[in-house]
A and B are shown apart, each in its own frame.
Chain A
Amino acid sequence: MVKKKFDIGPYLYLLPALVIIIVFRLVPILFAFVLSFREWSINGAGAFIGFENYKKLLADPIFWQSMLNTFYLVIFVVPLSLFLSLVFANFLNSITKLRAFFRTVYYIPTVTSMVAVSIVWKMMYSKETGLMNYLLGLIGIDPLGWLGESKGIFQLMFGEALPAWAGGPSLALFSIIILTVWKGLGYNTIIYLAGLQNIPETYYEAASLDGANKFTKFFKITLPLVSPTTFYVLMMTTITTFQVFSQIYLMTGPGPTTGGPLGTTKVIVYYLFEQGYDNNNYGYASAIALVLFFTILSLTLFQRRLEKKVHY
Chain B
Amino acid sequence: MQNKNIFTYIILSLCGLFMIMPFAWMLATSVKSQFEINKGNNGFIPYVESDYLDRDGDGELLRCKILKPAPGDSLWINIFNENNEIIASYLKVSASKVTHKKSIKLFFSNFVEAWKQVPFGRYFLNTIFVSGISVLGVIITGSLAAYAFARMRFKGKEFIFYLLISMMMVPQPVYLFPSYILLDHLGWLDTYYALIVPWLANIFTIFLLRQQFKSIPQELFDAASIDGCSRFGALWKIVLPLSKGVIATAAIFAFIGSWNSFMWPLVMIDSPQLRVLQVGLSYFSSEASSQTALLMAASTFSILPLVLLFLIAQRHIMASFVSSGLKG
Q: A18-B160, A113-B306, A134-B43 are in contact. Are A296 and B281 (CB under 8 A)?
A: no
Q: How far is the CA of A115 from the CA of B259 in the complex (A)?
A: 11
Partner of B198, one of A20, A245, A255: A20
* Segment among A46-54, A57-65, A72-80, A191-199 that sits at the interface with chain B: A191-199
CA distance A204 to B180 in the complex (A): 55
* A130 & B20 in contact (Cβ 8 Å cutoff): no
Question: Which residue, of A28, A98, A290, has the highest number of chain B Cβ atoms within 10 A?
Answer: A28
Rounded to whole angstroms, the CA-CA distance of A133 and B40 in the bound complex is: 10
Cα distance A100–B321 in the bound complex, in angstroms: 14
Q: Is A112 an interface position by the 8 A CB rule?
A: yes
- Residues 17-51 of B, flagged 1 when their CB comes within 8 A of A and 0 if not, give 01110110110010000000110101100000000
Which of B3-11, B83-91, B216-224 sits within the interface?
B3-11
Please tell me if the beta carbons of B154 and A11 are within 8 angstroms of each other in the complex.
Answer: yes
Contact count band on B = 35 or more
- Shortest B148–chain A CB gap in Å is 4
Contact B42 A130 (CB under 8 A): yes
With both beta carbons as reference points, the residue of chain B lying nearest to A27 in the complex is identified as B182
Q: Is the interface of A mostly helix, strand, loop or mixed?
A: helix
Contact of A105 among B20, B144, B295 (CB under 8 A): B20
Check A123 against B295 for contact (C-beta < 8 Å).
yes
Minimum distance in angstroms from B123 CB to a CB of chain A: 12
Asked if A303 is at the interface (CB within 8 A of a chain B CB), the reply is no
A276 to B176, CA, bound (A): 9
CB neighbours (8 Å) of A126 from chain B are 292
Q: Determine whether A131 belongs to the interface, using a CB cutoff of 8 Å to chain B.
A: yes
Question: Complex: how many Å from CA A102 to CA B14?
Answer: 11
Asked if residues A17 and B145 are in contact (CB atoms below 8 Å), the reply is yes
Chain A min CB distance to B303 (Å):
5
**With A and B bound together, what is the CA distance between A134 and B282 in angstroms?**
25
Q: 8 Å CB contacts to A: which residues of B198-252?
A: 198, 200-201, 203, 206, 231
Whether the pair B20, A182 counts as a contact (CB closer than 8 A) is no
Is B285 in contact with chain A by the CB < 8 A criterion? yes
Choose from A29, A111, A300 the contact partner of B178 (Cβ within 8 Å): A29
Q: Assess whether B281 is in contact with A116, with CB atoms less than 8 Å apart.
A: yes
A200 at interface (Cβ–Cβ under 8 A)? no
B286 is an interface residue with CB less than 8 A from chain A: yes
Please report which residues of chain B, range 147-177, place their CB below 8 angstroms from some CB of chain A when the two chains form the complex: 147-149, 152-154, 157, 160, 163-164, 167, 169-177
Q: Are B173 and A112 in contact (CB under 8 A)?
A: no
Nearest A-chain residue to B184, judged by Cβ? A44
* B106 interface residue per 8 A CB criterion: no
The answer to whether B197 touches A106, judged by C-beta atoms less than 8 angstroms apart, is no
Are A123 and B263 also in contact (CB < 8 A) when A16-B140, A21-B167, A24-B179 are?
no
Picked from A20, A32, A108, A185, the residue with its CB within 8 Å of the CB of B200 is A20
8 A Cβ contacts from B245-278 to A? 256, 259-260, 262-263, 266-267, 277-278
Q: Is B302 an interface residue (CB 8 A)?
A: yes
| Bound-state Cα–Cα, A254 to B135, Å | 31
B15–A106 contact, CB under 8 A? yes
A147 to B235, CA, bound (A): 54
Q: Is B12 an interface residue (CB 8 A)?
A: yes
Task: Identify which of A20, A106, A123, A243 contacts B171 (C-beta below 8 A).
Answer: A243
Asked if residues A286 and B12 are in contact (CB atoms below 8 Å), the reply is no
Q: Chain A residues near B179 (CB, 8 Å)?
A: 24, 28
Stretch with Cβ within 8 A of B (4 or more), from A149-157, A160-168, A215-223, A226-234: A226-234
Quote the shortest CB–CB distance from A95 to chain B (angstroms).
6
* B322 A197 Cβ-Cβ under 8 A: yes
- B307 interface residue per 8 A CB criterion: yes
**Is residue B16 within 8 Å, beta carbon to beta carbon, of the partner chain?**
yes
Query: For B292, what are the chain A residues with a Cβ–Cβ distance below 8 Å?
Result: 123, 126, 129
- Which residues does chain B contribute within 8 Å of A255, judged by CB atoms? 286
Q: Which residues of A contact B5 (CB under 8 A)?
A: 95
Contacting residues, chain B, for A10 (C-beta < 8 A):
148, 152-154, 157
Q: Is B310 an interface residue when CB atoms closer than 8 A count as contact?
A: yes
Chain A residue at smallest Cβ distance from B310: A111
Q: Per-residue CB proximity of A13-44 to B under 8 Å, as 1/0?
A: 11011101100111111011001000010000
Contact B167 A269 (CB under 8 A): no
Task: Assess the A249–B299 pair: CB atoms within 8 A.
Answer: no
Instruction: List chain B residues, Cβ under 8 A from A88.
Output: 12, 15
B12's contact among A92, A122, A243, by CB below 8 Å, is which?
A: A92
Residues of A within 8 A of B19 (CB): 105-106, 108-109, 182, 185-186
Specify which chain B residues have a CB less than 8 angstroms from the CB of A100 in the assembled complex: 318
* Residue of B154, B203, B286, B307 most packed against chain A (CB within 10 A): B154
Is B314 at the interface (CB under 8 A from chain A)? yes
A–B Cβ pairs within 8 angstroms, 24 of them: A10-B153, A13-B147, A14-B145, A16-B141, A18-B145, A20-B200, A21-B164, A21-B167, A27-B178, A28-B178, A28-B182, A106-B16, A108-B20, A109-B19, A112-B307, A117-B303, A119-B298, A126-B292, A190-B321, A197-B322, A245-B262, A255-B286, A282-B178, A290-B174
Nearest 9 Cβ contacts at the A-B interface: A228-B328, A24-B198, A28-B175, A28-B178, A20-B201, A134-B42, A10-B154, A17-B145, A13-B148
Which B positions have Cβ atoms within 8 angstroms of A? Answer: 5, 8-9, 11-12, 15-16, 18-20, 22-23, 25-26, 29, 37-38, 40, 42-43, 137, 140-142, 144-145, 147-149, 152-154, 157, 160, 163-164, 167, 169-182, 197-198, 200-201, 203, 206, 231, 256, 259-260, 262-263, 266-267, 277-278, 281-282, 285-286, 292, 295-296, 298-299, 302-303, 306-307, 309-311, 314, 318, 321-322, 326-328
